[in-house]
Structure 1
Amino acid sequence: MSESKSILFVCLGNICRSPMAEAILANTLKSTRHVVDSCGTASYHRGESPDSRTVSTLTKYGIKTGHKARQLKKSDFEKFDYLICMDENNLRNIRDMGKRWGVEQNTIAIKVKMFGHWRPENGAFGEVVEDPYYGDITDFKRCYDQCNLFCKEFVTQENLL
């Protein structure tokens, strides 16, 4: 059994991709010894529930979420072992915010990774989890498939079970 880890998924608004990844990973781990959370780099949706299409997609697979959107904060760099972002803009924003807050560069380099870093070796889905917000339910299904696959790889590669 691996040691307890803390994982924070980060996207822009924290109502689509990151709460979906959070719910999938929490469901996969089915454990309270690991901490799983999500947030956004922007504050647009602070306090809101995930997008209804995120909730309906998760529900289709028997996964529930009670998440409320929040924005990344300085203490997240101390609290979490992993800060996992969905795309290059999120990656740049997290790094910039960390620098502005005086977080050590080494800490940022070690903790902040693209979610696609844990994709299967065959490169399935590429590295970026595209934002489905302006799309339709098929975009949310693709996001789910990608997050589900990356979560399984993350759990395996990081030996979390």
Structure 2
Amino acid sequence: MIRVLFVCLGNICRSPLAEAILNSKVELVGMQSQFKCDSAGTSDFHIGELPDERTIKCASKYNLPLNHRSRQVNRTDFRDFDYILAMDDNNLRNLNNLKIRYGFADKEIHLMRNFVAKTQGMSVPDPYYGGEEGFEEIYQILDEAIDSFLAQVKATHQLYA
């Protein structure tokens, strides 16, 4: 089983949407038994909360079920997940600091948009302080990046639908 963790700051906007997109894509090709997907935040701002209402609205527009309550990244995530995907440089830096503190210095953390050649090194922008258009923008960004990520994972692990 391939275990994937998406990480943003508060775990109410970008990462739960990414989780829902990946879950939908693997279900569409009948590979849901081969993937475990979750999301978390590097901060404790929203622990236990449902995703932002604009995230819920965006997910609903694309028929993506969101079944998540915000949680903070913890030590066992570095042990339990094969892929940890950060939404931006700040969260990447936070995760890299945490992995050292928790004793997982060799764990590779990926920047979400690095799976798309033309957007390597770019962040998934945080839509929290904007309007609904920001959530549509991150949906489009995540949809493309997750397609590329999924293709790479399938090739790396020789998974076939």
Alignment of 1:8-157 (within 5 A): 8-30=5-27, 31-103=32-104, 105-107=105-107, 110=108, 112-119=109-116, 121=117, 123=118, 127-157=122-152
Letter in 2 for 1:106: D
Stretch deviating more after TM superposition (149-158 or 12-21) = 149-158
Query: What's the TM-score, normalizing by structure 2?
Result: 0.90
Q: What's the CA shift for 1:126?
A: 6.5
Letter in 2 for 1:75: T
The SS at the match of 1:106 is coil
Contact 1:125 1:146 (C-alpha < 8 Å) held by counterparts: no
Give RMSD over aligned pairs: 1.4
Stretch deviating more after TM superposition (124-133 or 40-49) = 124-133
Q: What's the CA shift for 1:158?
A: 1.5
Contact 2:41 2:70 (C-alpha < 8 Å) held by counterparts: yes
Change (3 A) 1:101 1:87: same
Give 5+ residue unaligned stretches, structure 1.
none
Counterpart CA distance in 2 for 1:140 and 1:128 is 14
Contact 1:7 1:82 (C-alpha < 8 Å) held by counterparts: yes
The SS at the match of 1:8 is strand
The SS at the match of 1:158 is helix
Paired-residue identity, %: 39
The SS at the match of 1:20 is helix
Give 5+ residue unaligned stretches, structure 2.
none
Counterpart CA distance in 2 for 1:92 and 1:124 is 18
Query: What's the TM-score, normalizing by structure 1?
Result: 0.90
